[in-house]
A = this chain, B = another copy of it.
Amino acid sequence: MNFIESIEANGKAVDIKKGEHVFVHGDLDRSIYFIKYGLLKAYYTTRDGKEFIKSFLMDSDVIGSLSSAYKGDSCSFSLLCLENTRLIKVPFSIIYDFSKADQSVANDLIVLLLNLSMKKEKREFEFLCLSVEERYRQLENESPIIIEKVTQNDLARYLGVTPVGLSRIKARVTRP
């Protein structure tokens, strides 16, 4: 049995409507979620009410708060559905325990974590080495679907600029 199969076999399907949260900052939610279909945003909020978007999630992605699922802390971010979404929810402990007994689940978890690490490393690189404008151009090339589906406000909060700033950059980029 592989990773996705063991999620499907041990998890339960959850349908969540556009505009509703899966969990919010501060919750204790030790699950991970496999996204059957839909669109979500994972975002941080600061005390002074600002929002910063960690990632957008789509079909076949896996998401969960590692600090909550693995360490047992409360969630450091919130997870909101931008479209009607179907998830498979499963306690991380089940997967983690399975991985200790089942070699193929362990392998799949390793591959999942390797890919997660490389994805995070890529984003680290982009913040460290690229300007906002370069990050926007790169997103245009690599993830046109996100640009298409997500509001410009959310795009801005993902790229690390204000919506006003992104509007200016777009004006600069599209009409030279």
CB within 8 Å of B: which residues of A? 44, 46, 50, 52-54, 66-67, 70-71, 76, 96, 99-101, 103, 106-107, 109-110, 113-114, 116-118, 120-121, 123-125, 127-129, 160
Number of identical monomers bound together in the oligomeric complex: 2
Query: With the chains together, A44 CA to B67 CA distance in Å?
Result: 28
> With A107-B100, A110-B99 as given contacts, are A44 and B127 in contact (CB-CB < 8 Å)?
no
- Nearest-Cβ distance from residue A18 to partner chain B, whole angstroms: 24
- CB of A106 within 8 A of CB of B110, answer yes
Q: Which chain B residues lie closer than 8 Å to A113 at the CB level?
A: 110, 113-114, 116-117
Q: How far is the CB of A131 from chain B (nearest CB, A)?
A: 11
Contact of A120 among B52, B120, B160 (CB under 8 A): B120
Contact of A127 (CB < 8 Å), options: B66, B100, B121, B127: B127
B128 touches A54 (CB 8 A): yes
Contact A52 B129 (CB under 8 A): yes
Given contacts A54-B128, A128-B54, A160-B128, contact A66 B106 (CB under 8 A): no
Residues of B with C-beta under 8 A to A160: 127-128
With both chains docked as a complex, state the minimum distance between the C-beta of A166 and any C-beta of chain B, in angstroms.
14
